[in-house]
Amino acid sequence: MPAPFPSAHTAHPLTLPDGTTHPGTFLLKPLIDHPRIEVGDFTYASAFEPPEDWAAHLAPYLYPQSAERLIMGKFCQIADGVVFITSSANHRRDGFSTYPFAIFQSDFDSGRPSLPQGPGPDTVIGHDVWIGKEARILPGAQIGDGVIVGACAVVGGTVPPYSVVAGNPGRVVRRRFDKATIDRLLAVAWWTWPMERILHHEAAICGADLLALEAAAEAGPG
């Protein structure tokens, strides 16, 4: 008989066969308290050397006063060493120099010419996204639902749902399913279901039984 599924507010969700919790697996929602980061339920991260501050570990350039946000959906899987390089890390690069003269005079908000002009875009990660070891997600990336990001990939721009992206610069190497299937999966949106219902249909979700998922979606919560 399997154990109850952990609450979305459980910091250490993985219990090993000997009854101990796995020290390197963490649900992020209960651990990140940052005004510019939003994390969906059951999104987890792995770390061989767990940090004291997960927000600073994952998004070291995102400050409480930053204009941009980092938004992660539900059920994402973030491997060891992943870093989100958010817009506050940017330098102005449309002039002759990229050097941020203003910050060395403690001048961060005056619109000085050596600073980027205007707020940068949010970085948005969809639902059920798997980001491989030591990947780098660039400022303003928009990563769709169901995407797989390869290890050590450097990813920016918009990545369509259910794509596999790899390399530096990150490129879509293939789509996981054909467009019609992807459209149907996005309509089902199983990650919006209650956990009990998700677990009831685990075989269909993980076994790619789209007809069963669509029937479950049409039947509703009952």
Ordered by start, the domain boundaries in the chain are 25-176, 177-222
Q: What is the pLDDT of residues 3-31, one digit of tens each?
A: 899 999 999 999 999 999 999 999 999 99
What is the structure's pLDDT at 222?
Answer: 53
Q: What is the pLDDT of residues 64-73, one digit of tens each?
A: 989 999 999 9
* CA 212 vs CA 129, 205, 207: distances in Å: 22, 9, 10
Structural contact between residues 155 and 171, judged by C-beta atoms closer than 8 angstroms: no
* Topology annotation, domain 25-176: UDP N-Acetylglucosamine Acyltransferase; domain 1 (2.160.10)
- Of the residues 91, 127, 200, 201, which is catalytic? 91
For this structure, is 91 an active site residue? yes
Confidence of residue 102 (pLDDT cuts 50, 70, 90): very high
Q: What is the pLDDT of residues 158-211, one digit of tens each?
A: 999 999 999 999 999 999 999 999 999 999 999 999 999 999 999 999 999 999
pLDDT at 143 over 70: yes
- Look-up of token digits 């076994």: 207
Give the DSSP letter string of 30-87.
TT---TTEEE-TT-EEE-SS--S-HHHHH-TT--TT-S--EEE-TT-EE-TT-EE--G
